[in-house]
Structure 1
């Protein structure tokens, strides 16, 4: 009888499979070298950006598999993400890490009283991304290959050198540096109170590029509908790849009117914080380039839901920020996408991404392919552990 019970127990453990045994959360605040301003600062809606607050989730299983993911916040929300993540983390202990979609739902219900968008899902994102990283590592594949890659590299454009806080000469210097680094596109900020100054900067950058790279602009939601229509019509002369966030992020009807009236594609979506909000954009034909941000919408599980809907509409994809994550997701999108090159997060990781001939190369390292640097750990402000490390 004892032997029979032992055999049943062993069989039960086999059927259960691997289980999440340990989780560590880290609040890491990355300081920026200089304060950054876009149109939201010039219009008085936000203060200059001085740091990026990152929430990292690391986890290990009974069988020794590991994963790492992160979310982030700018200007506000970082401590809130960390605290919410601490509240819901314990529900993952003892769970099968392969059941990612089910675990996303479980985490969402664990924090259901604060909703399914914004800070609530941004805290979930760190866990979700870590689970996808783990699944790809377990398979011995880069995440892009696990998802089913369409390409080995993705068109990339630089944003971090085109902020309104940078004098024009500095922006022009960044154009040269970006092209020399193998980056294929340049995006600069617009949306100043003086439209003539916006046009002057765009014209100067366009002249400096001289056909060697593509050009995009980003107004960061600072125009109303009449101003946006006037500005966008003047910007059409520059043959831009897209005009980004000309209106408030939630004005899907206004974006739809612009998309219908202009030859230049409209891009938006980065500030939306749920799948439902992206569905509204897609259903109203309000966007040509959709720009979801995996950490902002709840992680890779939710990002893939948006991509499935966007592919049905034949929309182009240009994910926002976090190239370490979005490079893999863009590589698995059917239509040729763009990925945003931001070097801000470089100090957090031991690895670097490679650009060549205007494209970012998908690394062949398993999973997302990054590990935390010693510098990242030095910037840690708080951490919390759950379970027991195997």
Structure 2
């Protein structure tokens, strides 16, 4: 008998942050400071005893909804061939079709989709990147977690120095404050501190088109790797126009939750840096679909967050991406990413290369099981 999915265990995990963080959405009054990350974990076991693990996540809202949605449709995966990942994915989409094919619906499926890719690579005895077909064993890495807006310039400098000493190669800071002059003062101070170190800025969608043009023009002087999300995430034409106007690349895409939403950028003529997020776009399966199209269009890639997943996907992209370093999820896993010489290195362990920690179990607030471990 062919191997099949015997059981699934879903876990909702609430991971508190050591300190609340604020980006431009907080300073403009649209959101509250971020105090925790809520994750949805899927653990899969097959009739042959092979296991896989994947996760999705949410910030500020949506975690319970992701968990509830996957609980409703998870039974559909039981008994299916775990190697037929695209088939399993589509069956889950149709099982929950009444709530659509983006947003919470696909973010919920993402946890199981990632787990099936992890399982397939583990069964092959290969890191996921090697199973997909890697172009490289390491990628350039930058840190974001030290550059939030609640931090003073001096705090940002201290954290940036610590990141560089730890082997990280680039630093990203947040902008998009109500007073644009404050943004420029902070950028100038951090650029002076970093010298020639690669630097990025992220406005988290808080500028309108007029302000974005003015700010991008001012920011040209600071030799940035990119200006991220200067406009609303769904303003594909606006991002495309900026990407043709300025020398500094424009980056966007992290908030988009389906392949069609990302394709709107390409259709608008966007020529910047795409930042798909596998848990948000719906999993590794749709991430790879879009990555193929982005590569064909000649776009650079810098996947958002979730470095435990994205290092593998970045290693399998034809042109070298940047990978985003966030240490926030470290307590949930036994292993750590290797970072040195300004680069993040591909794990040599099978699959994603991570096992869940006791701390992950301790932060679990709900679990649900489907199928039988013995098939």
TM-score range, shorter chain: over 0.9
Q: Report the more deviating stretch, 191-200 or 142-151.
A: 191-200
Structure 1 counterpart of 2:60: 75
Structure 2 counterpart of 1:25: 10
Whole-angstrom CA distance in 2 between matches of 1:77 and 1:38: 19
**Cα deviation, residue 285, structure 1:** 2.1
* SS of residue paired to 1:107: helix
Residues 249-302 of structure 1 show CA distances to partners (whole Å, capped at 9, x for unaligned) of: 001111111111101000000000000000011221224110000000110000
Structure 1 counterpart of 2:255: 271
CA contact (8 A) 2:126 2:351 kept: yes
Give the TM-score of the pair, scaled to structure 2.
0.99
Indicate which of 97, 102, 114 corresponds to 2:87: 102
Whole-angstrom CA distance in 2 between matches of 1:88 and 1:236: 48
* SS of residue paired to 2:37: strand
User: Does 2:110 match 1:125?
Assistant: yes
Whole-angstrom CA distance in 2 between matches of 1:146 and 1:285: 32
* SS of residue paired to 2:134: coil
* SS of residue paired to 1:60: strand
Whole-angstrom CA distance in 1 between matches of 2:80 and 2:94: 15
Q: Name stretches of at least 5 consecutive residues in structure 2 with no aligned partner.
A: none
CA contact (8 A) 2:240 2:272 kept: no
Q: Name stretches of at least 5 consecutive residues in structure 1 with no aligned partner.
A: 1-12
* SS of residue paired to 2:311: helix
Whole-angstrom CA distance in 2 between matches of 1:258 and 1:92: 43
Whole-angstrom CA distance in 2 between matches of 1:297 and 1:168: 33
Structure 2 counterpart of 1:377: 361
Residues 335-355 of structure 1 show CA distances to partners (whole Å, capped at 9, x for unaligned) of: 110000000001111000011
Whole-angstrom CA distance in 1 between matches of 2:351 and 2:123: 8
Residues 28-177 of structure 1 mapped to structure 2, 5 A cutoff: 28-177=13-162
Residues 68-123 of structure 1 show CA distances to partners (whole Å, capped at 9, x for unaligned) of: 00000000000000000100100011110000011100000000000000000000
Size of the aligned set, in residue pairs, is 374
Give the TM-score of the pair, scaled to structure 1.
0.95
* SS of residue paired to 1:130: helix
Runs of 4+, deviation exceeding 6 Å = none
Residues 193-212 of structure 1 mapped to structure 2, 5 A cutoff: 193-211=178-196
CA contact (8 A) 2:54 2:115 kept: yes
Whole-angstrom CA distance in 1 between matches of 2:271 and 2:68: 34
Whole-angstrom CA distance in 2 between matches of 1:20 and 1:134: 11
Whole-angstrom CA distance in 2 between matches of 1:48 and 1:175: 21
* SS of residue paired to 1:68: strand
* SS of residue paired to 1:91: helix
Whole-angstrom CA distance in 2 between matches of 1:285 and 1:269: 14
Structure 2 counterpart of 1:9: none
* SS of residue paired to 1:351: coil
Whole-angstrom CA distance in 1 between matches of 2:286 and 2:317: 14
